[in-house]
Structure 1
Amino acid sequence: MRKANPSNRKDGRNKGWSQRKTGMFSTGAFFKILPLCSLLAVVAVTGCSNGTSKTESHYTSAYTAEDANPELAAATNRFALDLYAKLEEEPGEADPGPNRMISPAGIGIALSMLKGGAEGETERQMDAMLHLNGMSPEVLADSQMILRDLLRGSDPAVKMDIANSLWSSQGFEMDKDYVEQMEKSYGAQVQAIDFSSEQAADILNKWASDNTAGKIPKVIDPPLSPDLVLLLMNAMYFKGDWSEPFEKGQTEDLPFYPEIGGEVTVPTMRQSGEYAYLDGDGFEAVRLPYGETKNFGMILALPDENSSLDDFKQQQLPKFNEWSQNLSDNEGSIELPRFKLKDKFSLKATLSALGMTDAFDDEKAELGGLVAGGAKPGSIFISFVTHDTFIEVNEEGTEAAAVTVIGAETTSAPAPREPFDLKLNRPFFFAITDRTTGAIVFMGEVGNPAEE
């Protein structure tokens, strides 16, 4: 149970946020819930770009909200909730800290690209994990294309794009139909690269840095595996100012109460006004909008003092799609710590625990759709999935970035053997055995084949 601040207790369930909330967040509660809810609230609150400026030309989408596939949006959020919950069991970090930030939309896009080349049981497992309900690769690709286009043009005051790329080893020929679909629907950059070269990691890291405004400069550590044949990369970058920025003069150092330990002092922003707010069952939630249209927003959820973050995650996070629609305008005030964090995850175990097992199996993986002419099960498999993230929240707004990398390798070929020259021109032994039982059925020797 967190340490309570007597001056900040909630005196009534319907008084809004007019009273100070300092001391009611735990470090884990604030940083773990905030980014996830922010992303889910708009399907993806991150994108990829090289910066933001209200004066630069803004992209206008060719689609309207009615063109978006609601099934994809619902599937994306269900996968996001599943993934976030599974990180409790398989955190993807050697030493998980009290803070966490992921981009489930970015991970979902990268996995959707991979699914376009999956076949058989591998495809079925990915379909189930992503909650796509048998959505065809063509419909999925077109739906992702429309979603990406709508996100880019959602608000002229918010910068958000999504960048995708495919990097194949020299001599590895990808399926032409697959490449065309990735270029058309995902806007993917497709390029051959010598993974064995000393420059390969630098080239890949530069792509990540260029597409996250330098916020994620390194996602690959050399040397790369000699069996690596394909990398799928998704980069997300978001930069948006609050619709109502916090006044820097209102920021002051205030106590913050972690769930474990005493208190810490952090720069805390303060603001009052009218917000979309919910006094929920065991928690309160508020939405802070970005930009001119306010289409993008960050949802902050705070467990009650007599509750805990674990209670919230178990009882209310699975219902996010339901209660996040019930926020309504309410006068109140908010205190929000400034923060900046980075994170890195290895998601192989997490995704496997969610049911995507065969893709990582070097005998069962069915990814023939990636390869020209197809490929036998196990000849190409996924060796790793990494996810790097960044977020900074201050008085002006929020900057967030994420890069997902999926690595595909070919099964290592056995080392070539020297040709042999066996001449059975001397007495020799023979045996006929049963592989099923291991039994020797016949055995003998030949001393003179000329005699019967």
Structure 2
Amino acid sequence: MKLTLIFLIMISFLSGCNKSENDEKPEKKELELKSKEVLEATDRFGWELLQAVNKEADPGQNVVISSLSVAQALGMTTNGAANETLSQMLDVMDFGEVSEMNEAFHNIREVLQTADPKVQVDIANSVWYRQGMPAKESFGEALEEDYDAAFREVDFSKKQEAKDLINGWVNDKTKGKIPSIVDEISAGQYMFLINAVYFLGKWQYEFDKSATKDEDFTLSDGSTMQVPMMNQETDLDFYSGEDCQAVKLPYGDGSFYMVIALPANGIELDEFINSLDTNKWSTITDNMHERGLALFMPRFEVECKFKLNQTLIDMGMELPFSEFGADFSNMTEAQVFIDEVMHKTYIKADEEGTEAAAVTSVSVVVTSVGGGGPMPFRIDRPFFFAIAEEESDAILFSGKIENPKQ
């Protein structure tokens, strides 16, 4: 359905017919009830994942994740799990029944990709499996139907060719922002399940580039550095509470937005992140009120890379990583287990808007045996951020910026 829709849009554009702007926009999809429940579970999973990754990060290290990307990659993998392995994966992600999860993710992708014609959101999935060792038919059908996953048989013995093929797909789907996700192909490699998310949105209220000036930014260790500080005076949704102040920056027509939160004095950024959950997020976003702000925020560009194995194991997903305990019998007749979950992210925020990308790869291998004037709001120290969609409450990216130049 998605491919057909994109094809029709391309034909309409190239034909040069005299159509109104609204006729050329993709039809906006509505979020179904089950999709809402899966998104809420994804957000719960995402807060826990962010806190776990942040805990393992080095002091002063930037942390950016896309829980949506990780959830979809693991969601595809869950279709191959069985028995206790399946139970552990579903318990950690709290997605309910597999078939309902699959249908929800299909709907979620359609909703996010059609939410705002002025914001580009692309979500793509692919599966690359070992030549001569096909996956079970029911597994492949589910991923092709509900995840629009490209299914490719690959000769993993030709390692460089295989890596170039997979990484070429990743590079293409992230518009070159994440050139690769696969560094090595093991002798027992069976499958890579990969999700890519790409986001490009212009601020509803852009910053004036000529107003950007180098100013001090205080790092967590107390030292300062010079960063390009953007600034503008405008009316924005703002929250002020005991533990933080936060501003909401809309993109395009307003469906997508970035929230930037500064912890109150005396509260460490990591302490604030550890307090985040669905209720805290709702408290912040539901209690924002428009007010005039003199906003100062740094231009930043950040890349992150995380291996999520131990993080997911600590969250309760132990069996899928167990060489002799994992059960992926709904995927293949062979005895396989998850060897690695790799997550890469990229985000750039400047005067025009935000470009962000994320890729998650699940590597599966065969076992060895088988009011008033504007109020100054200066973001001149480490801060938390999240990019979300208004109607669905989907959180696409979240993290912390410790060093805008790192």
TM bracket, shorter-chain basis = 0.7 to 0.9
| Residue from 349, 359, 384 that aligns with 2:340 | 384
Distance 1:394 1:88 in 2: 24
1:345–1:315 CA distance, 2 compared to 1 (3 A): closer
Greater per-residue strand proportion: 2
Partner of 1:102: 65
- CA distances 1:274-327 after superposition (whole Å, capped 9, x unpaired): 1111101221011100012x1100000001223221331233456223332222
- CA distances 1:29-79 after superposition (whole Å, capped 9, x unpaired): xxxxxxxxxxxxxxxxxxxxxxxxxx9996624632356622111101000
* 1:305 aligns to 2:237 (yes or no): no
SS at match of 1:369: coil
Count of matched residue positions in the alignment of Structure 1 and Structure 2: 348
| Residue from 267, 278, 295 that aligns with 1:334 | 295
* 1:402 aligns to 2:352 (yes or no): no
| Residue from 106, 112, 119 that aligns with 2:75 | 112
The alignment's TM-score, normalised by the length of structure 2, stands at 0.82
1:409-420 to 2 correspondences below 5 Å: 409-413=365-369
| Residue from 69, 74, 86 that aligns with 2:52 | 86
1:225–1:96 CA distance, 2 compared to 1 (3 A): farther
1:312–1:334 CA distance, 2 compared to 1 (3 A): same
Matched residue type, 2:30: T
Structure with greater Cα Rg: 1
The alignment's TM-score, normalised by the length of structure 1, stands at 0.74
1:221–1:315 CA distance, 2 compared to 1 (3 A): closer
In the alignment, structure 2 segments of 5+ residues that lack a partner are 1-12, 15-20, 371-406
Partner of 2:382: none
In the alignment, structure 1 segments of 5+ residues that lack a partner are 1-54, 415-452
| Residue from 111, 119, 123 that aligns with 1:158 | 119
Distance 2:175 2:270 in 1: 34
* 1:220 aligns to 2:186 (yes or no): no
Q: Does the CA-based 8 Å contact 1:68-1:147 persist in structure 2?
A: no
Q: Does the CA-based 8 Å contact 2:29-2:115 persist in structure 1?
A: no
1:310-325 to 2 correspondences below 5 Å: 310-316=270-276, 319-325=280-286
Distance 1:120 1:286 in 2: 45
* 1:237 aligns to 2:193 (yes or no): no
SS at match of 2:197: strand
1:298–1:115 CA distance, 2 compared to 1 (3 A): same
Distance 1:103 1:195 in 2: 28
Partner of 1:41: none
Partner of 1:364: 325
SS at match of 1:324: helix
Distance 2:93 2:260 in 1: 25
Distance 1:253 1:317 in 2: 34
Q: Does the CA-based 8 Å contact 1:163-1:211 persist in structure 2?
A: yes
Distance 2:224 2:54 in 1: 25
Partner of 1:178: 139
Q: Does the CA-based 8 Å contact 2:320-2:326 persist in structure 1?
A: yes
* 1:129 aligns to 2:129 (yes or no): no
| Residue from 241, 252, 257 that aligns with 1:291 | 252
Matched residue type, 2:170: A
SS at match of 1:139: helix
Q: Does the CA-based 8 Å contact 1:68-1:146 persist in structure 2?
A: no
| Off by >4 Å, runs of 4+ in structure 1 | 55-59
Q: Does the CA-based 8 Å contact 2:246-2:284 persist in structure 1?
A: no
Distance 1:146 1:406 in 2: 22
Distance 2:138 2:277 in 1: 39
Greater per-residue helix proportion: 2
SS at match of 1:199: helix
SS at match of 2:63: coil
Matched residue type, 1:201: K
Provide the alpha-carbon RMSD of the alignment: 1.9
- CA distances 1:385-444 after superposition (whole Å, capped 9, x unpaired): 000111100000000001100011111249xxxxxxxxxxxxxxxxxxxxxxxxxxxxxx
Distance 2:39 2:190 in 1: 31
Q: Does the CA-based 8 Å contact 2:32-2:107 persist in structure 1?
A: no
